[in-house]
Structure 1
Amino acid sequence: MKLKTAALACASTAAMLIVGLAPAASALPVTVAPTLLEAGSVQDDNGVLAVSATSDSAITQITAHFFAQSDDDGTEAATEPETEAGETQDFTLHSGTADSGIWYTSQPVQLAALGDYRTVIELTDADGDRTEAAGGVLDYNYTALFQSFTATPAAPDYFHQEVTVGGRLVVRHPGTRALYPRQSVPVQLLGLDESGAATTATTDADGRFKQVFVPKHDGGVSAYVTGAQTGSPVRIAIAQSATRVTLDAKDVNIKPGQSAKISGKAEVEAAGGVWKPLAGQTVTLDPQGSGDASTTAVTGADGRFTGTAAPQSSKAVNVTVGSDYEGFLAASAVQVARVHVAATTSITGFTASLDKLSQLTVGGTLETGDRQPDSSKAYIEYSKDGRTGWKTVKTLTTGVDADPGSFAGTFAAPGKGYWRAHYKGTPDFGASYSKVLHVTRTATRITGANASPEPVKKGKTITVTGKLQQQLASGAWKAYGSQKVTILFKAKGAATWQVLGTAVTKADGTFKKGFTAKKDGTWQPVLLSPDSAHLVSYGSEDFVDVK
């Protein structure tokens, strides 16, 4: 078989480490002999042959024979002798171990002509066992690659916006590694066009190509040629120039329905820290919060602008130029123009109720018309007489449900007194008060609580006694008769209380209830369910040892 000459060919990018590998057929089916797993060109380095093999002992010698591939279906006429194009024993272990690894030729294979070559691999191990098997294909052809690919400048700025991307396309000989330029080849450049479409640049006689463009934002640019290694992407990072906005006034007062005029000057920082007028750029006026649309104004040659904002309520308007996300101009620091529109407020639906545990629950709604403060608080105030000595007991934030002005809360409170809600207001919203509510429950107490005898024999009677009283308006305590006192018991070591019974107080407030002694534990009388005008009270706990 004669050696073939191959036309110039570009190497396809391979997905595996070894290109063109084929399963090997063992010449000698001896289980202890070396086994050829794969053999073929190394990815992106066609002139280097890789051999993957394993054996029961160290592989000591590898010989590769190369035969030119046939142009037909892979078979040669029986009368035509097959000519070996070359061989090599120059292998170095690349990875793995001597008995199971991958070997590379130490130097590129040297063959007389380009082309695809069938391989036959001889393997010999330390035991003297030898295998000869067919390997894969050595892709002994030119490799097309980008010798260089750059972007200049890689960090363009507002004053130098054009970027030139370019490089050199060459082919490399698989054996000698000599490089030759590729001429008149269309190179696809990705990353120049915002639409994602490729831009084409054609190589010159020296294989060089270039393209000039103005980037819109940071990004990567890569070069691609069919059949060639993709050029390493280059990163273009726009060096954004600093900008600033100076407002003529930071506070603007208007009436409802009017538009506020917001004016100022936009500038860009040049070399040496010099600030220059920023002409023809868009200034954004963005009301904070929701419900109001942003507006824009365009700077004149002197960098000055005048815009309008018509928020529905008093709002801060953020004024900026530039963008941190794209373009040559960094976003300026936010300048805030505060537009003030007066508003009348009121507190409606104020309620206050005191439960038996002396917990006060209040609620109401802060009404501010069509507008709401960014953040508002209702101050719950208490007075003994409803006229003087008001003090804040609790502060509640509005917006507890679907109504943004609503507020509600529950907290410990005195048994008697007067309550109101107070909104203190802001420069944009007036202060307001709710109606005053009188809330009262009479305090109670249990004195002289006792469980006896102590100790007591099991099965005998334990008697729980005490006296229930209620507090008069004068502050004095009076017997509270005809009330049910609940007797609680908690066994020794237990975590929860049990209701064992009730005792009804006499006219003098005293009560007594007997129980059969069963186990050690703590006893306590409690006014657990008072009427709507009284508060819960607890007698002292008393431990009784049952013998």
Structure 2
Amino acid sequence: MARFRAALTAAAVAALCFVGISPAQASDQLTVSYAGSVNDDLGTLQVSARSGSDIVELTAHVFSPVTQQEVAVLEPDDFALDSGTAQEGIWRSKAPLQLAEFGSYRIGIEATDADGDHISVADAGTLAYYAVAQFPEFTTDRTAIGVDERDVTVEGVLKAKLPGGGEPVVLPGRKVDIDVDYWTVTTVTTDDDGHFTATVQLDNAAPIQAVYRHDGDHAGYLYGESTMLQIGIDKALTRYTLQTSTQRIDKGQPVTLTGRLEKETENGWVPLSGVSGGILFGPTTTYNDRVGGFTTDADGTFSTQYTPWETGFFQVAHRSDDPFVSNGNARSSTVVVLQPARFLDFSALRTGSRSVHAEGHIDFDNISPATINVAVQYSPDGTSWTTLRTVEATWSGTGGYGFAADLAAKRPGHFRGYFDGGDVFQTITSASTHVGR
């Protein structure tokens, strides 16, 4: 094949310098933008060029970085258009170059377009003719560590992709760094098959990676790194056991919460001491009050006293400082807080031989029932009571909610008012009144 070795003469260069060229003409000029290695295939040469007409020939001259002598030539038939068009595109060598030594080779380019224009660029770029380290295999014996299993063993194979092409070759006797969270923790050497193994101890979750860095004894082999493998943590589970001193109290009375925190081990559940957390109390998980904090003692227990103002439950939670112990939370059973209720007065008076009139007032604090039902009860001896009638108490206008009832009662005995507060209000009775015949 013919090889172009023509160069611009001094006169031609001078002509280009002094003859005016319009912007349109300049954009149509034959130009070589750059020449260099393909990033993931360093031995393959690529050339970027453009012209106002099709580029029909490219020739590349490869010069030694040591002697500056030409060591290889790529003829027009050695190139193929890789992307773009024949007027503006990127051409690549059909096969990687075969050179004797690693190094950065200067590239000179000659280009010719369909209009017959021809240029020669003495320094169009650099061919990075180096081997690139690779880790086609890199594995770990575990994906997570535990409190008693913190050692991680890695193994892999180090190879190199040579710039001249072909299958990657193994690299024996090379140093490989094992990096944990981007810091080198140990360095091992590959065996005759390029294989390596190492064991590292982790104190937390971290990424782990094998890295080949520049080695002065093996010039020409570039940096390479394995896939990054994330090592997690198998956290020990935690659990709470919660107890309240009572399940039902009057408003204003305290309740004591006692708890125990444990973690799961191979030998079962054991106390978790020295752990701090917080305690809330309220009717829902989001509507609550802060009770305070806690720290577990030697046997994993804690205790606190609180005076709630409404029905609710305790919530406890901790965030573990130990990466091998999970965070945890729990809620107690519901503590019913009964709102105050009281009888302001009660009286009963006989109105006939067979009738008794009873009346009184009942009152509450900040809240009251929508419907206030008061039972008027009778007992012949003051110990065993029977409801004679239930009436609704209504606002009296002066204080408390008034109620009254006319009762059929011919026998003498004791009379009282009774209010069943259910799970919201206190259940109360009035003072009893004796009515004779």
Q: Would you say the 8 A contact 1:91–1:105 is kept in 2?
A: yes
- The answer to whether structure 1 residue 199 and structure 2 residue 195 are counterparts is no
Question: Secondary structure of the equivalent of 2:296?
Answer: strand
Q: Would you say the 8 A contact 2:79–2:91 is kept in 1?
A: yes
Deviation of 1:292 after TM superposition, in Å, equals: 5.0
- The answer to whether structure 1 residue 91 and structure 2 residue 76 are counterparts is no
Say which of 174, 180, 183 aligns to 1:190. Answer: 180
Deviation of 1:264 after TM superposition, in Å, equals: 4.0
Structure 1 partner of 2:101: 113
Deviation track 1:155-177 (CA, whole Å, cap 9, x = no partner) reads 44567554334434443321134
Structure 2 partner of 1:37: 33
Q: Would you say the 8 A contact 2:178–2:208 is kept in 1?
A: no
- The answer to whether structure 1 residue 318 and structure 2 residue 305 are counterparts is no
Q: Would you say the 8 A contact 1:168–1:208 is kept in 2?
A: yes
- The answer to whether structure 1 residue 245 and structure 2 residue 231 are counterparts is no
Identity of aligned residues (%): 26
Structure 2 unmatched runs, 5+ = 1-6, 17-24, 215-222, 281-287, 342-364, 372-393, 403-420, 428-437
Say which of 286, 292, 311 aligns to 2:278. Answer: 286
Deviation of 1:51 after TM superposition, in Å, equals: 1.3
Moved more, 106-115 or 376-385: 376-385
Say which of 163, 187, 199 aligns to 1:174. Answer: 163
Within 5 Å, give how 1:155-166 maps onto structure 2.
Answer: 155-156=144-145, 161-166=150-155
CA distance 1:124–1:319, change in 2 (3 Å):
same
Within 5 Å, give how 1:43-442 maps onto structure 2.
Answer: 43-70=39-66, 82-87=69-74, 89-134=77-122, 135-156=124-145, 161-177=150-166, 178-181=168-171, 183=173, 185=175, 187=177, 189-191=179-181, 197-205=183-191, 206=194, 208-217=196-205, 219-227=206-214, 228-240=223-235, 242-249=237-244, 260=256, 262-264=258-260, 266=262, 268=264, 276-278=268-270, 280=272, 284-288=276-280, 292-297=291-296, 305-311=300-306, 316-320=313-317, 327-332=323-328, 334-336=330-332, 385-386=397-398
Aligned equivalents of 1:125, 1:250: Cα separation in 2 = 96
Deviation track 1:21-77 (CA, whole Å, cap 9, x = no partner) reads xxxx98876955531001112224321222111111333333222110137xxxx6x
Aligned-residue CA RMSD (Å):
4.9
Deviation of 1:427 after TM superposition, in Å, equals: 7.5
Aligned equivalents of 1:160, 1:384: Cα separation in 2 = 74
Aligned equivalents of 1:181, 1:307: Cα separation in 2 = 60
Aligned equivalents of 2:269, 2:399: Cα separation in 1 = 62
Aligned equivalents of 1:257, 1:210: Cα separation in 2 = 63
CA distance 1:389–1:428, change in 2 (3 Å):
closer
Aligned equivalents of 1:150, 1:282: Cα separation in 2 = 38
- For residue 45 of structure 2, what is the amino acid of its counterpart? L
- For residue 294 of structure 1, what is the amino acid of its counterpart? G
Question: Secondary structure of the equivalent of 2:66?
Answer: coil
Aligned equivalents of 2:64, 2:253: Cα separation in 1 = 89
Aligned equivalents of 1:258, 1:385: Cα separation in 2 = 34
Aligned equivalents of 1:223, 1:154: Cα separation in 2 = 16
Deviation track 1:404-456 (CA, whole Å, cap 9, x = no partner) reads xxxxxxxxxxxxxxxxxxxx9x97999xxxxxxxxxxxxxxxxxxxxxxxxxx
Q: Would you say the 8 A contact 2:62–2:71 is kept in 1?
A: yes
Q: Would you say the 8 A contact 1:50–1:102 is kept in 2?
A: yes
Q: Would you say the 8 A contact 1:287–1:311 is kept in 2?
A: no
Question: Secondary structure of the equivalent of 1:216?
Answer: coil
CA distance 1:160–1:249, change in 2 (3 Å):
farther
Deviation of 1:143 after TM superposition, in Å, equals: 2.0
Moved more, 47-56 or 207-216: 207-216
Structure 1 partner of 2:219: none
Q: Would you say the 8 A contact 2:155–2:195 is kept in 1?
A: no
Count residues with an aligned counterpart: 322
Aligned equivalents of 1:341, 1:36: Cα separation in 2 = 87
Aligned equivalents of 1:56, 1:140: Cα separation in 2 = 32
Q: Would you say the 8 A contact 2:151–2:199 is kept in 1?
A: no
Question: Secondary structure of the equivalent of 1:113?
Answer: coil
Deviation of 1:262 after TM superposition, in Å, equals: 1.6
Deviation of 1:380 after TM superposition, in Å, equals: 12
Within 5 Å, give how 1:440-479 maps onto structure 2.
Answer: none
Deviation track 1:163-201 (CA, whole Å, cap 9, x = no partner) reads 33443444332113442326352515131xxxx754233
CA distance 1:159–1:144, change in 2 (3 Å):
same
Question: Secondary structure of the equivalent of 1:110?
Answer: coil
CA distance 1:144–1:269, change in 2 (3 Å):
same
Aligned equivalents of 2:240, 2:331: Cα separation in 1 = 7
Question: Secondary structure of the equivalent of 1:294?
Answer: strand
- For residue 190 of structure 2, what is the amino acid of its counterpart? D
CA distance 1:327–1:123, change in 2 (3 Å):
same
TM-score by length of 2: 0.56
CA distance 1:102–1:161, change in 2 (3 Å):
same
Aligned equivalents of 1:378, 1:36: Cα separation in 2 = 92
